[in-house]
Each structure stands twice: as structure tokens, then as C-alpha cells.
Structure 1
Amino acid sequence: MTMAIGGISLHAVDVASGRPAQGMAVELVALDAGGERLLARGTLGAGGALDHPVARGELPITAGAHEARFAVGAWLRAGDPQLGRVFMEVAVLRFEVLDPAEHVHLPLKFTRWGLALFRGS
């Protein structure tokens, strides 16, 4: 049996409609002196969360700078093709992993006009 380690999970909900952001494209990268290293890329599932080995703590992460990127604009336009331009294209959170053994949960709560992105539990 493999013991799970920390992990970083991504989750997004359109709070104006109350809908999880199913299908939203997301990326998670580690940042270091050599540039960025892709840890995860995918789309959010029916509950608005990324189902990925990094989120489940099955792949190791390191201490240091990371960035989560949520493709909010494309998701909003996919839900409303008449929408056209949007206020924000990509919601980005640059954050530090202090202890790789701790799980970091990043819930994005957003509307067409704003967002809250924070470390959850």
C-alpha cells in the first residue's frame, strides 16, 4: 500500500449560477530558477474539481513557488457563446508550498466580474 503525500487540489465554482465549473481547463506548475515545470493539466470534473494524481497526493510535490491557472474566460464563453469578451481570461494564483507533506486545496469562487481564490481545507 502506497502512502499518500501532500498534493495540490484545484476546484472551481461559478457562485453566480451555483454551478461547479465542469470542463474548465486548468494547469498547475512548479516554478524554480530553471523556469516552470508542468505538474498537472486537465479539465475539471462534474463536481468542479481536478481528478489528477497530484490532487490525490499520489505524485510528489516540492516546497517552493507554484502557480495554478484557471481558464475562466473560455469556460464562461463555452456556457454562453453570445458572451464575447469577458473581464478575465485566466485566474492565476502564485503560491508557496511550505510543507510538501501538507495537502494544499485551492478553491476558486468566481463570477463574470470577479473572483476569490484562496487556500481551503
Structure 2
Amino acid sequence: MAGGISIHAVDVASGQPAQGLRVEIWQVGPARALIADGWLGAVGTLDHPVTTGIGIEAGEYEVLFHLGEFFADSEGAGFLTVVPFRFRIVNVDEHFHLPIKFTRWGFALFRGA
């Protein structure tokens, strides 16, 4: 896949994809603009045109993972609220796959393949 930003989230404590996790994708440089906002589907991915490169320009971006909302209905909601992931795109033809693995107490973010 060329271009775009894709998200894949897994709640590793339950071993399940993070269906219902709210994610925002912001372009923060050169100007701040919300380019995607939605909830992850059954396989823990975001279904949005941004995944195919629509609306992506060179610049700095921030993904916000709303883990506090995700755990709000469960017992002991944990202490994480919103987890940010900030990165830069120089070549808009590259695809940026951003997996997150998390529990209510911690997380791991990285650029995947």
C-alpha cells in the first residue's frame, strides 16, 4: 500500500482487537488540522480515507488514542487517558502503519510495515 496512515490497535490484556477505540489523527505542522476522527472496527483498524493517502501532506502529525474512553465502562478504568503519538511525514508516497498494543496500564507504539 502506498501513502496513507493506518492504525491497528490490540488490547493485549484481553488478547482482542480494540474495537470501539476512538482515534483522532491531526496534522500539526505546518498548521493544526483534524484529518480523521473515528472508532476502530472489529479487527482493530480505522476505516477512513486517510488510510489510502487522501488528505496526507508532508508535515508533522499526531495520533491520539483515547484509552480512557475505551476503558470507561470496565471495572477499574486505569490511569491512561489519551495516548499521543507524534511523527513526521517527508515522503507522502510512503505508507505509515502505526500499531499500538496496550493495557489499561501501559502501551507500546511503533511504525510497522
TM range (shorter): over 0.9
Displaced runs of 4 or more, over 3 A: none
- CA deviation profile, 1:37-88 (whole Å, cap 9, x unmatched): 111000000000000000133x14111110000101110123x1x324x221
Q: Which letter maps to 1:51?
A: D
- Structure 2 equivalent of residue 94 of structure 1: 86
1:40 aligns with 2:36: yes
Structure 1: unaligned runs, 5 residues or longer: none
The one-letter code of the counterpart of 1:40 is: A
Aligned match of 2:62: 67
The 3-state SS of whatever aligns with 1:96 is: strand
Check if 1:53 corresponds to 2:40.
no
1:27 maps to 24
Report the equivalent of 1:108: 100
Structure 2 Cα separation of the partners of residues 104 and 96 of structure 1: 10
User: Contact 1:72–1:88 at 8 Å: present in 2 too?
Assistant: yes
Higher gyration radius (CA): 1
Distance 1:43 1:88, change over 3 A: same
Secondary structure (helix, strand or coil) at the match of 2:33 reads strand
Between the aligned partners of 1:99 and 1:50, the Cα distance in structure 2 is 22
Give the TM-score, by structure 1 length.
Answer: 0.87
| DSSP 3-state at the match of 1:102 | coil
Instruction: Give yes or no for contact 2:57–2:89 (8 Å, CA) kept in 1.
Output: yes
| Aligned residue in 2 for 1:17 | 14
Answer whether contact 2:101 2:108 (CA < 8 A) is retained: yes
**Secondary structure of 1:54 counterpart:** helix
Question: Contact 1:27–1:40 at 8 Å: present in 2 too?
Answer: yes
Identity level (%) = 50
Paired amino acid for 1:93: F
Question: With structure 2 as the length reference, what TM-score do the two structures score?
Answer: 0.92
